[in-house]
Amino acid sequence: MQYAPLGRTGLQVSRLCLGTMNFGPQTSEADSFTIMDAALAQGINFFDTANVYGLFTAATVTPELHPGYTEEIIGRWWAQGGRRDRVVLATKVYGNMGPGVNERGLSAYHIRKACEDSLRRLQTDHIDLYQMHHIERTTPWEEIWQAMEQLVREGKVLYVGSSNFAGWDIATAQSAAAARHFMGLVSEQSLYNLAARTIELEVIPACRHYGVGLIPWSPLAGGLLGGALRKATEGRRASTHQQQRIERDRSKLEAYETLCQELGEEPGDVALAWLLHNPVVTAPIVGPRTMEQLTGNLRALEISLTAETLKRLDEIWPGPGGEAPNAYAW
């Protein structure tokens, strides 16, 4: 396994982050335990979850599925002993956790309660990386940072990250944190893959400038980059939405999968290797539903992409043209 600092911190995390969104709704608790055991055995020490996972990702509602269910599964895995101190644990706050008007968002009230609830479900006394799941512009940064600072002082949170922030949100957050002599954000979790490159305009430059580590989610574009043409009837690729995407991008997918075949590599591994090539990227989030998917992802760490291959990937999956404003102005 390869490791890298989380942003500008001294914390070393694995170059692949284990995403747990499928645990519960898509993957049984027993299989989730097996996947976490295997990930740890392979050297993956970075696990990502969120307080809303459980019902948030469920195709159908059943009595056991509810927001927080995935955290509960992880908590029961911790309870077996001998694991917690070997994992950098990341979870999130923002989503709707109940019917109350204050059971969502980034108010100090909700941040405090959501953190306490996550700690209880996870059966741990601290969260290594507490991420704001989305920007909320109705709550002032003074309130957000005051709440986060209190959690850090109490030892319940070590580092703070963001998710789905714009570049200017990162800049605003860091400016407010600096004024309070607080470290602020150490990571940003964004949608980023070969087929979704919008963040190259401003988010990636902001991350680089502020020393914020980038944690891409959906690195395979929901399976589109994982061999969609060859596996068009499997898993999420069989959904109507994904079939429409496959048809829309068929020419690109044909060129992409041909290139991967020439390289002798699986399409999903090439997509992950492309992300890992970017020095701003700390660790893409892989969300395996099965053991086979987990072990397959590890191959990406061994792939070195040549300048010619990177050029061909840019031709197949063009980005926004560079960084702003040069991408659209002189």
The CATH number that applies at residue 186 is 3.20.20.100
Return the half-sphere exposure (C-beta side, CA atoms, 13 A cut-off) of residue 141: 17
In a domain, 74, yes or no: yes
Residue span of the structural domain in which 297 resides? 3-225+263-316
183, pLDDT greater than 70: yes
In a domain, 236, yes or no: no
What is the C-alpha radius of gyration for the chain, rounded to an integer number of angstroms?
Answer: 20
- Residue 170: name the closest of 188, 147, 144 by CA: 188
With cut-offs at 50, 70 and 90, classify the pLDDT of residue 236.
low
Assess whether 53 carries a catalytic annotation.
yes
Distance CA(191)–CA(216), nearest Å, equals 6
In a domain, 240, yes or no: no
| pTM: predicted TM-score of the whole model, two decimal places | 0.93
- Residues 47 and 71: beta-carbon distance below 8 Å: no
Dump pLDDT digits (tens) for 290-329: 778 888 788 899 999 999 999 999 999 999 999 999 999 9
Query: In the predicted model, what is the mean pLDDT of the chain?
Result: 93
Phi and psi at residue 130, in whole multiples of 5°?
A: -105, 115
Dump pLDDT digits (tens) for 39-62: 999 999 999 999 999 976 555 556
DSSP 23: B
In a domain, 252, yes or no: no
In a domain, 212, yes or no: yes
Number of domains in the chain: 1
Q: What is the mean pLDDT of residues 198-221?
A: 97
- Which amino acid type is present at position 307? A
In a domain, 203, yes or no: yes
Q: What is the pLDDT of residue 58?
A: 58
- Rounded to a whole number, what is the largest CA-CA distance in the chain? 59
Which of 3, 53, 109, 328 is labelled catalytic? Answer: 53
